[in-house]
Amino acid sequence: MHLLFCSDPLDSKSVDMDFREEYEVARSLGFDTGLVSYDNIIQGELAGAGTAPFIVPKRIREQIAKRGNEHVNALYRGWMLRPKAYEAWTALLETFRIRMLTSAESYRNCHYFPDSYPVIQEFTPRSVCLERDQLTTAYIQEAAKSFGTSALMVKDFVKSRKHDWLEACYIPDASDQEHVERVVRRFVELQGAEMNGGIVLREFVNLEFLANHPKSGMPLSKEYRIFFMFGEPIFMVNYWDEVAYEEVRSDLEDFIKIAGQVRSPFFTMDIARTQAGQWIIIELGDGQVSGLPEHTDLEAFYTSLKKAVMNRGLW
């Protein structure tokens, strides 16, 4: 199993500083690591043998050569990629006999909310997804109308703008059509070129309150991120760095059952507790591009990942 990390934008032989600590911990635990250029991936410049040394480090190429016609398996740890970019990149890696453990289809299944919503629908707030070409006043108003007077949150298919809480995320009353459209339009404006797919309107559910974010003022709640490998939970961490709270002691049986239906080998599930004491799923994410909070015990995370891939005979 090889881990491919993003390289420094100014030095293809060095790891991106934001992933340096993860990279070093992974190497210390025996993972074979490689570096890939994020800019090349998103610009579609990875083409032809001339770029091979940058996507296939020398030691990995040597191991591939020893395997004859066999592929080697790999996982990515880096910045988020649009599904089309991930698909093109993984297809190119296949030509060098590197097979990503997470296929392009599996990546999209967890990275884009509309693809994962049917699987988690029973355990997550009600949501309505609009494609980019549906972002007209008529479609937006019709979608909001279905929520009655409930409060809403706005996001695109991947991210919200939680730190622009009142301006481009939270809507107190879905029946206030002018307010709904203003927040949606502002969200789209702020996302700009970073917009992923269309938008999602989600019923706002009051979660167990911890504190207000020191900068944005958004409410911080008891949320947790669980990493799953082959349908089994391998690591759980508190979602927020800005406030201290105890580790979850919830019975995860229902969530593990849901995880078994997710069509991806490596993904995350963000969960939270409501004010009423009910546990819900916030969303799924691809495990390769899901962030780790600053307080994460990286050695524990990569030890758990190593154990999971070893148990599958992929080490």
Q: Which of 226, 219, 184, 192 is nearest to 205 (CA)?
A: 219
pLDDT at 250: 61
Contact status, residue 95 vs residue 88, Cβ threshold 8 Å: no
Instruction: Give the chain's radius of gyration (CA, Å).
Output: 20
Joined tokens for residue 152: 């809403």
pLDDT higher than 70, residue 44: no
For 259, the token pair is 């995880």
Range of lowest pLDDT (5-9, 70-74, 134-138) = 70-74
Confidence check: pLDDT of 52 > 50: no
CA distance 210 to 213: 9
Q: Please state the length of the chain.
A: 315
**pLDDT digits 0-9 by tens, 244-293:** 887 766 678 889 999 999 999 999 999 999 999 899 999 999 999 999 99
Mean pLDDT of the chain: 90
> Which stretch of 68-82, 192-206, 227-241, 277-291 has the lowest confidence by average pLDDT?
68-82
DSSP annotation of 64 = H
Structure tokens at 61: 């190429």
Nearest-5° angle of CA 190, CA 186, CA 79?
30
pTM of this structure = 0.92
CA-CA distance, 91 to 87, in Å (whole number)? 6
